[in-house]
Chains A and B, each alone.
Chain A
Amino acid sequence: MRWLASIRQRLRATFRAAIVEDEVALELLFHVHRQIEENVAAGMTPEQARLAAMQSIGNLARLRQECRDVRRMNLVDDVRQDVRYAIRSLTRNPHFSAVAILTLALGIGANTTIFSVINAVLLRPLPLPGADRLVTIVENRPASEPFDGRPARRPPMPDEIRVLQTQVRSLDALYLYGGAPDIRPAGREDGPAMLGARMPGPAMFSLGARPVLGRLPDADEAGAVVLSTNAWRRYFNEDRNLIGKTLSAHVGNVQSMQTIQVYTIVGVLAPGFAFPDGRVDYWLSGAGPLNVARLGERVSIAAAAEEVSAVLHGLIGRSKVPELALQGPPRFELVPLQEQLVARMRPVLQLFGLVVAVVLLIACANVANLLLARSTTRTREIAVRASLGASRGRLIRQTLTEAVLLAGIGGVIGTFLAFGGIRLLRVLFGAFAAPAASFAIRQIAADSGPGAFPRIAEITLDLTTFVYTGGVCLTAGLLFGLAPALRQTSDLSLSALRDGAAGAVSGFTLFRRNTLRSTLVIAQISLAMTLLVAGGLLLNSLFQLLTVSKGFDPSNVLTFQVRHARERQSVRELRAFAEQLVAQLKATPGVVNVAYAHDMPLIGPAQSTPLLLTAGERIPDLEQPGKSNIYSPALRLVSRDFFSVTGSRLMTGRGFSADGTLPRTMVINQKLARARFPGEDPIGRYVYLGRSEVAGNPWQIVGIVEDMRQHGLDLDPEPQMFVDFATWPGVRQAFDEPNYYAVRSSGTPRLLIPEIRGAVQRVAPGATVDQALTLDEIVSSSVVRPRTYAVLFSVLAGIGLILATIGVYGVMTYAVAQSTRELGVRLALGAQRREILTFVLCRAGILVGVGIATGLMGALAATRYLQGMLFGLSPIDPFTFGASALLFVATAMLASYVPARRAMRTDPIVALRYE
């Protein structure tokens, strides 16, 4: 390891210059003293001895300078010289440099872009004071389940939290927070809602909120609101007299239970407070179902978790929730707040990190190949330099400098590309989310909507990213520079000096003389092939998802809710309102049909009701979890024209009668028909619904409707039954009320919104339209993740494909150029031009074929990790594999065709004179 010691010496001389200087001075001083002693011993007087010694050593300062030069200065000089030489050599080959730099820019740009996401989401601490000590308590049931960031984990109950707040010593503070209702300020009822969060005033203070106007809420103050600076500006024009004014909020999702609460604005916060999310417009004093705790100083998260766990397990005996006992005792865990927020993003970001690393590898292979090809033409130059006294190490360093310089320039351009990449990501992550749908804290952990991608707004190119990019450039440069550097300095003998262009006279071969180059291209092709297959699978899966039979036709349908001015309207009043609104809207031009329902496809929870075949049928107590419950199917209350508006087809039988004269009829879906009535025709059957007020009387099944995907396009339809509101006797529960409206239009549905506003105002003055979304938007929002991943992956796989194609083109062009003479001889001896073309293309085919075959095998091994991201598709889907391979073959052969044509057109005379 001599070179290691040597580098250590150089580094020491460069970075510990002062110490090294002192050592040199001491050493020379010792020499002088020793010489004086010697001189004195030889009989000189001390004065003579000193003079003689000084004379002998000469100019001390210059000697020190010389010693310093030996150690340090030549490192800097060499580098400067190498860089100057590298720039000259790069500008002399502009085509080579351009391709290499562009290739690297793509690879490095992709890496920087993805790293900026990883940095913003996973690495950078939350923008809260002491964020590294913020944790949240989660409960894992069953105990063996690891924490994965999904919202299904039950947080501790509020009463348990109160015990924790008083008993646990390892937590400095423990706060409960949650969502707050959307608020539309007076005069802006039709505009976007202010999004809110709820937490106690002291929690706001502890998490870094500071008022610029007014104050924070007190500990037990109810109904006090502070605004974000942003909301203050956007909704209130920075009104400085805002403090003390009130806001009214509609609380509760169910209209018949909805109350209107009045909050008082007590302050405006300084910018920068973003808990639990940067989108929050206002904070309301109070508590919520989620918790955040601050670890005490010098307390480890494990120790705190142990204490919390002990306290909570002590409370479990008193739990009144029997079904929780079935799964055995839970396991409590403290999870860093950041982890809770981003845990679901981690595997995806790791996957993309891997993908861009592969893209960079492909890019590196490309540049290595270009450098190798060029090194052959530089053999003479290298030999000359070697014979003039350059050592092999020096020559290797020179080549590496060139490589790192290339990577550096590529990195700078790549960084600019990354700015574009981040914009693309913002669009991908943001724009597919539904336009400002209702915000609730649970959306932070939701699978769709704005909460699908936590912290995405924080993506920027910061110092960490630049340092990372720099590191990538350096690594990449060394990676692709090393092989060519070793190769082109391996033969420094005089023979190389004599026939520097020996390569140009050999025959056409990709394997014997060009083994390294061909291996690199094969590696490139197989890596790119693997990426292409994976990207193809995700795209195909997205296609399957979007074309899956939804059970409804989302085009030209607008859904909305109505926000009433009065609180706690009765179900009867709400139904009367719904009927009037439908009548009004049906008369509106452009409206095809109108319906209302308790919930819409892809919106709304399931409400299940026992379906009994005979009046006294017993229902099994428990069913397997995860299976759809055929004994208690979902009951959906809809208006008469619901199927016509959603575009769901009736398979057999009929829908609800227009005048409602046939009471107690129901429509079931295919799934329920198959599951509950196997082998028989349910049409005309009488059944009983297991709710008290209706249980006594039978219902007749009159029709079977196609299966609607209720909870997500990727989830199997559940068994459902539909009952007309008009014939439904219940009017007491919130479940019995109309909640959503749907309008099928003849034109663009959003254009109807003003008409709908008008109609709502006419029927119930003061009521406003809320959550107006087209079904298309709802569908689109529900697939935001698969779409984002598929698009992103395909873009990266596309870059891989382009780079590998450049690689094939490069190596083929080189091989053809190398064998110009042989081709010329063949032509002169009577070979047909077509034969030459076939000959070259066949060779390229072997190269591409081997690469694709290995790539497909790699894909077979790798794509199973995508299983969880695929819908309706096996990870080894033969169609995707075949199509990707075909696409690759086509591009690669096209890339080889250009040099093959050039080979075909070789002029024998010119070729023979080539030497």
Chain B
Amino acid sequence: MSKPTDLVQGTLDLLLLRIVAIEPLHGWAIAQRLKQVSGDVLQVSEGSLYPALHKLEQQAWIKAQWRPSETGRQAKFYSLTRAGRKHLDKELANWNRLSRAIDLVVREA
């Protein structure tokens, strides 16, 4: 699986933000957490994950810090910035609205 074609365009950012909002995580753990929380439904490849993380960092929604991982090796941990938290709230609201709308259409039509 290369690109998560089943993910709605732009949703990966939302998922990543949501995951690092709980606690700072490194890239590998983010991928694991995504898989785990979605019950193995959503999987993201490294080829999409890392560019997406770097883009979010570049946009200053998330920030990174090098520190020892659970295995003792140095890893890059991502966490939300204050602006990122606001952004996440906004995106979540948008998502809720959109998904409700889609839900309605799908059920009514």
Is A780 an interface position by the 8 A CB rule? no
Is B50 an interface position by the 8 A CB rule? yes
**A5 contacts B60, CB within 8 Å?**
yes
> Which chain B residue shows the least CB distance to A60?
B46
Is B73 an interface position by the 8 A CB rule? yes
Interface residue SS majority, chain A: helix
Is A57 an interface position by the 8 A CB rule? yes
Is A98 an interface position by the 8 A CB rule? no
Q: In which size bucket is the chain A interface?
A: 20 to 34
Is A886 an interface position by the 8 A CB rule? no
Contact of B50 among A6, A9, A67 (CB under 8 A): A67
**B69 contacts A5, CB within 8 Å?**
no
**A33 contacts B73, CB within 8 Å?**
yes
- Closest Cβ of chain B: how far from A443's Cβ, in Å? 62
**B46 contacts A57, CB within 8 Å?**
yes
**A30 contacts B26, CB within 8 Å?**
yes
**B51 contacts A30, CB within 8 Å?**
no
Is A159 an interface position by the 8 A CB rule? no
- Interface bits B28-52 vs A (CB < 8 Å: 1, else 0): 1000000000000000011100110
Contact of A66 among B51, B59, B66 (CB under 8 A): B51
Is A10 an interface position by the 8 A CB rule? yes
Spot the interface stretch: A20-28, A214-222, A613-621. A20-28
- Interface bits B57-98 vs A (CB < 8 Å: 1, else 0): 111110100100101011110000101000000000000000
- Interface bits A51-65 vs B (CB < 8 Å: 1, else 0): 000001110001100
Is B100 an interface position by the 8 A CB rule? no
Q: CA–CA, A5 to B87, complex, Å?
A: 15
Is A37 an interface position by the 8 A CB rule? yes
Decide yes or no: A9 and B58 within 8 Å by CB, A56-B46, A66-B50 being known contacts: yes
Contact of A67 among B26, B51, B63, B73 (CB under 8 A): B51
Contact of B60 among A9, A24, A27, A35 (CB under 8 A): A9
Decide yes or no: A31 and B28 within 8 Å by CB, A26-B74, A70-B55 being known contacts: yes
**B75 contacts A13, CB within 8 Å?**
no
Q: CA–CA, A57 to B58, complex, Å?
A: 22
Q: CA–CA, A6 to B58, complex, Å?
A: 6
Is A71 an interface position by the 8 A CB rule? yes
**B46 contacts A63, CB within 8 Å?**
yes
- Closest Cβ of chain B: how far from A26's Cβ, in Å? 7
- Which chain A residues lie closer than 8 Å to B69 at the CB level? 30, 34
Is A913 an interface position by the 8 A CB rule? no
Residues 380 to 414 of chain A near chain B (Cβ within 8 Å): none
- Closest Cβ of chain B: how far from A476's Cβ, in Å? 29
Q: CA–CA, A789 to B60, complex, Å?
A: 53
> Which chain A residue shows the least CB distance to B55?
A70
Q: CA–CA, A809 to B84, complex, Å?
A: 48
Q: CA–CA, A58 to B47, complex, Å?
A: 8
- Closest Cβ of chain B: how far from A703's Cβ, in Å? 90
- Closest Cβ of chain A: how far from B99's Cβ, in Å? 22
- Which chain B residues lie closer than 8 Å to A57 at the CB level? 46-47
Contact of B76 among A6, A23, A58, A62 (CB under 8 A): A23
- Which chain A residues lie closer than 8 Å to B61 at the CB level? 2
Q: CA–CA, A30 to B46, complex, Å?
A: 12
**Besides the known contacts A2-B81, A70-B51, 8 further A-B residue pairs in the complex with CB atoms under 8 A apart:** A5-B81, A6-B60, A9-B57, A30-B69, A31-B28, A58-B46, A63-B46, A67-B54
Which 8 A/B pairs are nearest by Cβ-Cβ distance?
Answer: A5-B60, A2-B83, A34-B28, A70-B55, A66-B51, A6-B60, A57-B46, A70-B54
